[in-house]
Amino acid sequence: MQDRGDDRPSPHRPHPNVAEVDQSDRLVPVNLRQSGPTPVQMLISTRVRKSPFWHLSIEAGCWRATVYNRMYHPRGYIRPEDGGAMAEYDALVNRVTLWNVAVERQIRVRGPEAEAFVNRVITRDATKIAPMHGKYVILCNARGGILNDPVLLRLDHDEFWFSASDSDLLLWLQGVNVGLGYDVDIAELDVSPLQVQGPYSEEFMADLFGAEIHDMPYYGLLETELAGCPVVVSQTGFSGEKGYEIFVRDSTLNAEIVWYALRGQGARYGLRVIAPAHHRRIAAGILSWGQDMDVETSPFQVNLAYQVPRKKEADYIGRAALEAQRTEIDGGRYPFRLKLVGLSMGGAPVTDYAPDFWLIATPERKRVGYVTSPWWSPELGHNIALGYVPWALSAIGTKLKVELPEAYTDVSGQPVDAEVVEVPFRPSAHPSARERARAQGRDWSV
């Protein structure tokens, strides 16, 4: 048979994307080609936006970046020869750190019907979010796929901000409302967030903003100023450590003032500018959109069932599909090929970002899944990871293998041992809904 010139498998050519891993319920399979590092220089041009903090990150030593929400995103300050990402990890878990996360674009929904509109597009109940509070939320499409997982901030009765993860949330919200016609204005703001994370962050923030920081609840908000610049402070973050976000209003004008005020006051705390701590968020079980989930992923696949309430009164986009999925799960049938689990993993320490979705196999070496987010845990003394496996292999204690690159293997050419374990891998400063449910003896999985 002749090669057909496309990516479909033929009897004479193996599937280029690891056909053994069952992704038949996806339209666009996750790319499992093991291509390794991509040693190219990123082009810095006007087509991708630079945030107001970009040049300040470069000044602070940023040496590499990625693209997130069509903006350049710093992903490394300490060079490998000086300790690299694990030195940044040490600063996070032992002192206090500053992150440039301006890529979390702020999408404002404001107007007389803001609450009703927001309630229609998120799975959780927006009416239960009080003004000057926030929640972690998800938005789904009609098939129940996760479109975005922002932190939703409610500034007032008629004003919400979506602090967006890495997908075109602004375009989705505006497009949806073309059909729904709610009386709201939907627009991106000139607001850029910074994160302050680490065990000294509360004391540091109290020095900056006063004693009311000590009384701020998790996901609480505060309207205030820093060095004369208007900011919104929230007790939130992407690390599992104690932490805050500072949303700088009019950031194209105020970025430098706020940045230098933070760094100046932070010097006495040993503040260090670092990249977003994916090593720590993995340990906390915090998911990364585009890496651990995407538009073809259901919340029931990734331990986000608590985001899909059984008794929300108002209808929302994706509800019918999600309720049908839950009915199947309640009946003992799993409607997906793969499920996200936590893995304890052998091998040499993984101390930087993985360039590929490394493959997961059974003890008999049959490939069945893939790792999405691996890293070394200094506290546990071994590698940990999030990854997808078939439902039948998702039980805690299941023994597996992971095909790590040669640099991380114990024996050349051999996969390392792995085991399905509980997530999160270590306690967080602010326990997640999953952790709280488990502590109360409730089933958080469905």
Average of per-residue pLDDT across 71-82: 97
pLDDT at 8: 47
| Predicted confidence band of residue 444 (pLDDT cuts 50, 70, 90) | very low
Encoding tokens for residue 365? 């070496």
- The C-alpha angle with vertex 145 and arms to 140 and 149, in degrees rounded to 5, equals 55
Count Cβ atoms within 10 A of the Cβ of residue 349 and give its class: 0-12 exposed, 13-18 middle, 19 or more buried. middle
pLDDT mean across residues, the chain: 93
pLDDT tens digits, one per residue of 121-134: 999 999 999 999 99
Q: How many domains does the chain have?
A: 1
Average of per-residue pLDDT across 425-436: 65
| Predicted confidence band of residue 430 (pLDDT cuts 50, 70, 90) | low
Tell me if 377 is assigned to some domain: yes
Tell me if 9 is assigned to some domain: no
pLDDT at 3: 38
The radius of gyration of the chain from alpha carbons, rounded to an integer in Å, stands at 22
pLDDT at 438: 56
pLDDT tens digits, one per residue of 116-164: 999 999 999 999 999 999 999 999 999 999 999 999 999 999 999 999 9
pLDDT at 294: 98
The model carries a pTM of 0.92
Tell me if 368 is assigned to some domain: yes
pLDDT tens digits, one per residue of 181-229: 999 999 999 999 999 999 999 999 999 999 999 999 999 999 999 999 9
Average of per-residue pLDDT across 293-306: 97
Q: Is residue 7 predicted with pLDDT exceeding 80?
A: no
Average of per-residue pLDDT across 329-346: 96
The residues facing 369 across adjacent strands are 360
pLDDT at 6: 46
| Predicted confidence band of residue 445 (pLDDT cuts 50, 70, 90) | very low
Tell me if 114 is assigned to some domain: no
Tell me if 240 is assigned to some domain: no
pLDDT at 61: 98
pLDDT at 17: 86
Q: How many residues does the chain have?
A: 446
pLDDT at 202: 97
Tell me if 351 is assigned to some domain: yes
pLDDT tens digits, one per residue of 266-285: 999 999 999 999 999 999 99
CATH code for the domain of 430:
2.40.30.110
Q: 424 is in which domain, residue-wise?
A: 15-47+337-446
pLDDT at 10: 46
Q: Is residue 304 predicted with pLDDT exceeding 90?
A: yes
| Predicted confidence band of residue 15 (pLDDT cuts 50, 70, 90) | low
Q: Is residue 2 predicted with pLDDT exceeding 60?
A: no
- Strands across the sheet with 243-249, in order? 221-226, 229-234, 243-249, 191-197, 97-100, 272-273
CA dihedral 319, 320, 322, 324 (to 10 degrees): 160
Tell me if 252 is assigned to some domain: no
Average of per-residue pLDDT across 221-250: 96
Tell me if 171 is assigned to some domain: no
